[in-house]
Amino acid sequence: MRFADFICRDAIIAKLNAVDKEGAIREMVQALCKAGKVEKEEYESIVKAILKREELGSTGIGRGVAVPHTKHPSVDRLVGSVAVSPQGVDFASLDGEVVHLFFLLISPPDRPGDHLRALENISRQLRDDTFCKFLKQAKSVEDIQTLLNEADTNQFGP
Amino acid sequence: MSESITRNVVVTDPAGVHIRSALAIVQTVQRGKSKVTIAKGEQRVEATDIWQIMGLVAQAGERLTVTATGPDAAAVLDALEPLFAGRFGDEAKKPE
């Protein structure tokens, strides 16, 4: 799976304003609403579901990356977005570091395989230090789009 | 005494091995004294690296080979097995 298969380009946020976990999740789901990827009436339900998932254990998986996610019946395919927080957000991460890169995923309840393939893509690409560093330093939505495209065409990594 | 034990496990969690199970695997292995690897086919990863575990894309119904080497190898494998079924700690009796 490539980023282009699940990242909604219109919902990318280059400078996340939020300073806490809930704020970051709300801002990203709001961007997906504005981009027309999720119904506005479902906004609160999706945010609550993602926060409930975080209560089971943080999705801050280290290296300054978090993957907040949920299954939700209102989507019929995997929907995702990316946000960069220049200042970092305390996300109770595995390694205690603040999170600068967010990959938010909403998947249909009956498609667990797509969710796993998106996680594989995210983990494989972000294990590359150069890609991870460049993404954290991205200043605009265009920068982020370019980096995601470059990752999709194997321009990072071994 | 150090021993090496390999067990085949089938992923029965309908969601597969996702972030939460990967994290639980890492934490379980870190609590023990044994070195643990997980393999799917030819792909073998360190069970202390959540990023590598996510790279396996281990879906429901797939077979994994888990190998533990160390003084508590059997105990670590016993603790790991429920995680592939989606049973985590105090939630063991009420799966999602």
Is residue A157, in this structure, part of any structural domain at all?
no
Name the nearest CA neighbour of A67 among A18, A114, A123: A123
Report chain A residues whose CB lies below 8 A from the CB of B26.
94
pLDDT of residue B18: 94
Half-sphere exposure of A152 (CA within 13 A, CB side): 14
Helix or strand or coil: residue A119?
Answer: helix
pLDDT of residue B94: 40
Is residue A124, in this structure, part of any structural domain at all?
yes
DSSP A57-75: S--EEETTEE--EEE-TT-
Is residue A158, in this structure, part of any structural domain at all?
no
Question: What average pLDDT is seen over chain A?
Answer: 95
Q: pLDDT band at residue A156, thresholds of 50, 70 and 90?
A: confident
- What φ, ψ does residue B77 adopt, rounded to 5°? -65, -40
User: What CATH number does residue A80 fall under?
Assistant: 3.40.930.10
Question: What percentage of chain A reaches a pLDDT higher than 70?
Answer: 99
Q: Is A82 exposed, middle or buried (0-12, 13-18, 19+ CB in 10 A)?
A: buried
Task: Please judge whether B20 and A94 are an interchain contact, meaning their C-beta atoms are less than 8 angstroms apart.
Answer: no
Is residue A15, in this structure, part of any structural domain at all?
yes
Q: Which two tokens stand for residue A89?
A: 């957000």
Q: Go through chain B and tell me how many residues it has.
A: 96
Kindly report the nearest CA distance between residue A65 and chain B, in angstroms.
11
Task: Please judge whether B51 and A94 are an interchain contact, meaning their C-beta atoms are less than 8 angstroms apart.
Answer: no
pLDDT of residue A158: 61
The ipTM estimated for the assembled molecules is: 0.86
pLDDT of residue B35: 97
Is residue A39, in this structure, part of any structural domain at all?
yes
Residues 49-68 of B with CB under 8 A from A: 50-52, 54-60
CB A110 within 8 A of CB A76: no
Q: Which two tokens stand for residue A39?
A: 């119904």
CB A126 within 8 A of CB A101: yes
Q: What is the pLDDT of residues A87-144, one digit of tens each?
A: 999 999 988 999 999 999 999 999 999 999 999 999 999 999 999 999 999 999 999 9
Q: What is the pLDDT of residues A45-70, one digit of tens each?
A: 999 999 999 999 999 999 999 999 99
Domain that holds residue A11: 3-152
Name the nearest CA neighbour of B11 among B1, B3, B22, B2: B22
Task: Please judge whether B57 and A124 are an interchain contact, meaning their C-beta atoms are less than 8 angstroms apart.
Answer: no
Q: pLDDT band at residue B92, thresholds of 50, 70 and 90?
A: very low
Half-sphere exposure of A130 (CA within 13 A, CB side): 8
CA atoms of A61 and B75, how far apart (whole Å): 26
The number of domains in chain A is: 1
Catalytic residue, chosen from A69, A72, A100, A115, is A69
Is residue A33, in this structure, part of any structural domain at all?
yes
Query: A100 catalytic, yes or no?
Result: no
Domains, chain B = 3-85 (3.30.1340.10)
Q: Which two tokens stand for residue A110?
A: 């009956």
